[in-house]
Structure 1
Amino acid sequence: MSETQEYDVLVVGSGFAGIHQLMNLRKLGLTVKILEAGVDLGGTWYHNTYPGCRVDSMNPVYQFSDPELWRDWSWSERYPGWKELQEYFQYVDRKVGIKRDVLFSSRVVSAVWDDSVDRWMLTTEDGRVFRSQFLSLCTGVGSKHYIPDFKGLDTFKGQVHHTSKWPTDCDLQGKKVGIIGTGATGVQLIQEIAPIVEHLTVFQRTPNYALPMRQQKINPEEDEKLKNNLYSILFSRRLQTFSGLLCDLDPKPTLDATPEERTLFYEDKWEKGGFHFWVGSYGDLFFSQQANDEAYAFWRKKVRERIPDHPELQEKLAPMKPPHPFGVKRPCLEQRYFEDVIEEITPNGLKTSDGTEHSFDVLVLATGFDMVTGGITSIDIRGQDGVPIKEKWEEGVRTYLGMASATYPNMFWIYGPQSPCSFSNGPTTIELTSDWIIECIRYMKDKRISSIVPTEEAQNAYSEQVDVLGAAALWSKAATSWYMACNIPGKKPQMLQFPGGIPAYAKLCNDSAENGYKGFDMKRFSA
């Protein structure tokens, strides 16, 4: 049996969240180690390398806000792809030495709390054992890929690839390719490979309400001016908007605007691109069906204009009757998706309802992930009562402040269940919650507190608030949305993320901290 390695804090995952935790926990003088399943830094940007994979939050805000890091780094474009993100993580490592405190190829399979000594015991896939006072789960929202139970998939004689397991030597040039799924991954991949494949067939369940990205190359001189004058302001502004981006919802009700005023408003957001038409639109988009219908009608008109003379394709990609309200799923950003020649879109699979069989060289599964909770529940985590967290969450996720759970002391997660998560720009929520956790640990060290755990009462109240906010809007009308945990069979439907926006979430977290971490039970070290 291997010798147990002990640290103050064990961090699981080396993406944005894990790296932010490591950099700042070091400043407290704590011993910290990251356990990373992959062989390099980056988290989702290490694992997702399919053609077209790129970020959907416009820079400069999709990066660490520390001036020591952004001062000497320049992006080549507003929405960088996975290769540039990987280069960025290597740059961060060169600046602050991340890798010296990372154990790669170290997939955590279990984490068990020992109440007698207030320590977590972690075991990796290869049998190594680690012990720590604190456990920080930085597993991300999309770390556990999902493949539906397609009948006969194992009999397919060609290549089969899930987008999160993309092989480096995959060459699609001149191939007959089938893609299952038109979520964000599917859209990105389709527009990238359509010009090079011989034949592309897309199997779509629900149309993607994709928005124009408006990609731009970054002018180094203009970017330098931004760094000197506005970067600090822009990073502060992130915390003041609903989504943690630089655009924000307009408080004016949609129907208070005249039709002409609405059209000009929508046109402005459309031309700006990115998420301006989503989280920079009228604020009642998510609450009023009438308001939502107005936004959908504008989106549908814009999309249909880009695929003229193809009425059947228009109806498949932008149907007259919306399959769900606009914006209740995170839209994908596209650059040429609607212009690419998609030769066929079929609803049911490789063998369609009319009996037609489709022949492919390569089958791509853009079927997504067990989102938000999958990265946590894939680890056998047992707290004070010995019950696995996966088992507890089978009847619904319950958390306090979207970063901790009752009966699991000294365990936090970042960018996970019931945090603003995918309603927001990733680094915004990550830094907000990571900073809160670090200050909580600092407080515990100063007050000689051994353990901290949410009370059941506080957890139930917070989770009820998330449920109420979710039910008050249109989110539940998307029958297959992972926002509502509806994309995985057997998963209990519920709002998995805090839908109240960054400022409201930050206030809840800060109110707890300012009142001595109200909602938590604490245990002091014995004298």
Structure 2
Amino acid sequence: MVPQFDAVVVGAGFGGIGAGIELDRLGLRDFVILEREDDLGGTWHVNRYPGLAVDIASVTYSYSFEPNPHWTRLFAPGAELKKYAEHVADKYDLRGRMRFSTVVDGARWDAENQHWVVTIAGGETLTARYLVAATGFLSQPYTPPFPGIESFAGKIIHTTDWDAEYDLTGRRAAVIGTGATAVQLVPEVAKQVDELTVFQRTPIWVVPKIDAPIPGAVRAVFDKVPLTQKAARLVNTAMLEALMVVGVLHYKQAKPFNRVAAALAKAHLFAQVRDPRTREQLTPHYDFGCKRPTFSNTYFTTFNQPHVRLETNSIDHVEPDGIVTADGHKTEIDTLLLATGFNLWDVNFPAFEIVGRDGVNLGKFWRDNRFQAYEGITVPKFPNFLCLNSPYSYSGLSYFTTIEAQMKHMGRLFAELFRRGERTFEVTDAANAQFLDRMTDRLGSSVFYGGDCSTARSYYFNQHGEAALLRPTSTAAAHREAVTFPLDDYTYGPVT
């Protein structure tokens, strides 16, 4: 049976857009991109909360082959990222091959016909030679099961489902969460509400944000002389590499560098928060890098305002008109804002059911046999399957370094597949095991295993205590391996 499509891509964020561009380059132009939301852009479409902005300098947070000279700030606001995604999708003729408001229930490998069968909510099925999962790392919002939350009589808003029509003016609000999203959200909410309580489970490392408008003259130079923007990108990428590779991944060899980063964050906190008790509560007691740090010049100063309070006691339960903490104190509120992040390891790997060869369920396989993926993109027993958001795939601090490395891997893999005149591929068990062992060994030098992360509650760690998200190599190494991996690490031809 001839499948309906060359490929089905699940997810229309930057990962899915990158996959579509690479499929076109490979000549596999008959593909469809399925997206559960009503438009493209992934996290930059879903998230619209006040203060939303990229936390990586704009010149780095983009495809290297499609620079955007029109960023208005060093750290672009979320709306500009959304606009950039639309521009890229239109320029590369991808929008016409996207289907929105389409929820994928699951996918299974059809061994008899050597293709994938993708099931869509409502019962429709699609068949494709290749399946690409591009659902992102942060696609499954998490709401902690606080007892009594269903009884709350006020307004509840999760940051991934922001209600722009709801007026915060004069409200008594609570923000639950102090991760990167909350760091952006809290200062903006504080400007509107009468009372704000921030419920913190774990403090976050925050460093100064060197942000400013990009002058029109500079944007004009970027537009007319692209090499200038490329140079700015290289400088910023080098700084990020130093932070991630040296300070985090080579923690054992470079503890002083890590200590300097922590000292900078502590100095930033000391300079911005007046109350000693609040400073102590906002100070992390885990090593820098255990949890993704973030940038802000306004988050800490918000706690100097008389109508803003930091609550560090754990939440016991929610009542119709407030939140009660473990010490019995009740905070009366009428608005509950959830900046509680995403569920990575329970439902995001993968984001929908995927059943490969011999009936192997990918989610169960990962949970029973450790999270793993060869070069962060393919898995044994899953023929013709590419997972762009998989264990050990995230390289560097900008997601685009990961996307482009995976695009290069796709290019090399499919070029060999076509050279051999075959239509199916599958990574070997031996190659996958060797890669997993190498990544695990390299992570031994990281802050995750060499530092003190016991109180971090970091999403970098899965339920087995493994830091299986980041690829413990430099970005340069990841891109080099994407174009030099041994071709015999795959088998080619019919898969039985």
When the two structures are superposed, what TM-score results if normalisation uses the length of structure 2?
0.89
In the alignment, is the contact (CA less than 8 A) between 2:360 and 2:381 conserved in 1?
no
Cα distance change on mapping 1:374 and 1:54 into 2, 3 Å: farther
Identity of aligned residues (%): 28
In the alignment, is the contact (CA less than 8 A) between 1:249 and 1:282 conserved in 2?
no
Alignment of 1:394 with 2:367, yes or no, is: yes
Alignment of 1:432 with 2:402, yes or no, is: no
- The match for 2:387 is 413
- The match for 1:245 is 237
How many Å apart are 1:461 and its aligned residue? 1.4
- The match for 1:268 is none
2:372 partner SS: coil
Letter of the 2:447 partner, please give it: L
- The match for 2:108 is 112
- 1:4-19 alignment runs, 5 A limit: 6-19=4-17
How many Å apart are 1:419 and its aligned residue? 0.8
- The match for 1:198 is 194
In the alignment, is the contact (CA less than 8 A) between 1:405 and 1:454 conserved in 2?
yes
Alignment match of 2:175 (pick from 154, 165, 179): 179
- The match for 1:357 is 330
Question: In 1, distance between residues paired with 2:149 and 2:97?
Answer: 41
How many Å apart are 1:454 and its aligned residue? 1.2
Alignment of 1:25 with 2:40, yes or no, is: no
Cα distance change on mapping 1:16 and 1:335 into 2, 3 Å: same
Alignment match of 2:458 (pick from 472, 481, 489): 481
Question: In 2, distance between residues paired with 1:362 and 1:282?
Answer: 38
In the alignment, is the contact (CA less than 8 A) between 1:371 and 1:482 conserved in 2?
yes
Question: In 1, distance between residues paired with 2:467 and 2:272?
Answer: 36
In the alignment, is the contact (CA less than 8 A) between 2:115 and 2:128 conserved in 1?
yes
How many Å apart are 1:335 and its aligned residue? 2.9
- The match for 1:43 is 42
2:239 partner SS: coil
- More displaced, 164-173 or 44-53? 164-173
Letter of the 1:223 partner, please give it: R
Question: In 2, distance between residues paired with 1:281 and 1:398?
Answer: 24
When the two structures are superposed, what TM-score results if normalisation uses the length of structure 1?
0.84
Question: In 1, distance between residues paired with 2:92 and 2:492?
Answer: 33
How many Å apart are 1:506 and its aligned residue? 2.5
Cα distance change on mapping 1:384 and 1:525 into 2, 3 Å: closer
How many Å apart are 1:219 and its aligned residue? 1.5
Cα distance change on mapping 1:80 and 1:291 into 2, 3 Å: closer
Cα distance change on mapping 1:202 and 1:286 into 2, 3 Å: farther
How many Å apart are 1:409 and its aligned residue? 0.7
Residues 349-379 of structure 1: CA deviation (Å, up to 9, x unaligned) = 2312321111111111211112378434231
In the alignment, is the contact (CA less than 8 A) between 2:245 and 2:474 conserved in 1?
no
Alignment match of 1:348 (pick from 302, 314, 318): 314
- The match for 2:129 is 133
- The match for 1:95 is 91
How many Å apart are 1:64 and its aligned residue? 2.4
Alignment match of 2:343 (pick from 340, 345, 370): 370
In the alignment, is the contact (CA less than 8 A) between 2:248 and 2:289 conserved in 1?
no
Question: In 1, distance between residues paired with 2:346 and 2:24?
Answer: 28
- The match for 2:222 is 226
Alignment match of 1:311 (pick from 258, 267, 276): 276
How many Å apart are 1:302 and its aligned residue? 2.6
Residues 50-73 of structure 1: CA deviation (Å, up to 9, x unaligned) = 111211111222122335x64xx5
* Structure 2 residue runs without a partner (length 5+): 316-322
How many Å apart are 1:16 and its aligned residue? 0.9
Letter of the 2:408 partner, please give it: D
* Structure 1 residue runs without a partner (length 5+): 251-276
Question: In 1, distance between residues paired with 2:261 and 2:279?
Answer: 17
Residues 89-138 of structure 1: CA deviation (Å, up to 9, x unaligned) = 23334433321100111111111001222200001112211111111111
Cα distance change on mapping 1:290 and 1:247 into 2, 3 Å: closer
Question: In 2, distance between residues paired with 1:41 and 1:502?
Answer: 27
Residues 250-278 of structure 1: CA deviation (Å, up to 9, x unaligned) = 6xxxxxxxxxxxxxxxxxxxxxxxxxx66
Question: In 2, distance between residues paired with 1:293 and 1:103?
Answer: 48
- 1:453-464 alignment runs, 5 A limit: 453-464=426-437
In the alignment, is the contact (CA less than 8 A) between 1:415 and 1:430 conserved in 2?
no
Question: In 2, distance between residues paired with 1:521 and 1:452?
Answer: 6
In the alignment, is the contact (CA less than 8 A) between 1:141 and 1:375 conserved in 2?
yes
How many Å apart are 1:478 and its aligned residue? 2.1
In the alignment, is the contact (CA less than 8 A) between 1:420 and 1:502 conserved in 2?
no
Question: In 2, distance between residues paired with 1:376 and 1:139?
Answer: 9
Question: In 2, distance between residues paired with 1:44 and 1:245?
Answer: 22
In the alignment, is the contact (CA less than 8 A) between 2:116 and 2:130 conserved in 1?
yes
In the alignment, is the contact (CA less than 8 A) between 1:397 and 1:417 conserved in 2?
yes
Residues 167-213 of structure 1: CA deviation (Å, up to 9, x unaligned) = 23232122111111101111111122111111110111111101222
Letter of the 2:52 partner, please give it: C
Alignment match of 1:496 (pick from 469, 472, 493): 469
2:493 partner SS: strand
Alignment of 1:158 with 2:154, yes or no, is: yes
Question: In 2, distance between residues paired with 1:193 and 1:121?
Answer: 45
Question: In 1, distance between residues paired with 2:411 and 2:99?
Answer: 21
Question: In 1, distance between residues paired with 2:204 and 2:312?
Answer: 14
Question: In 1, distance between residues paired with 2:225 and 2:488?
Answer: 39
2:332 partner SS: coil
Residues 304-323 of structure 1: CA deviation (Å, up to 9, x unaligned) = 12112x111010112xxx52
Letter of the 2:12 partner, please give it: S
In the alignment, is the contact (CA less than 8 A) between 2:59 and 2:229 conserved in 1?
no
In the alignment, is the contact (CA less than 8 A) between 1:36 and 1:106 conserved in 2?
yes
Letter of the 1:292 partner, please give it: N
Question: In 2, distance between residues paired with 1:279 and 1:358?
Answer: 42
How many Å apart are 1:20 and its aligned residue? 1.7
Letter of the 1:167 partner, please give it: D
1:46 partner SS: helix
Cα distance change on mapping 1:471 and 1:220 into 2, 3 Å: same
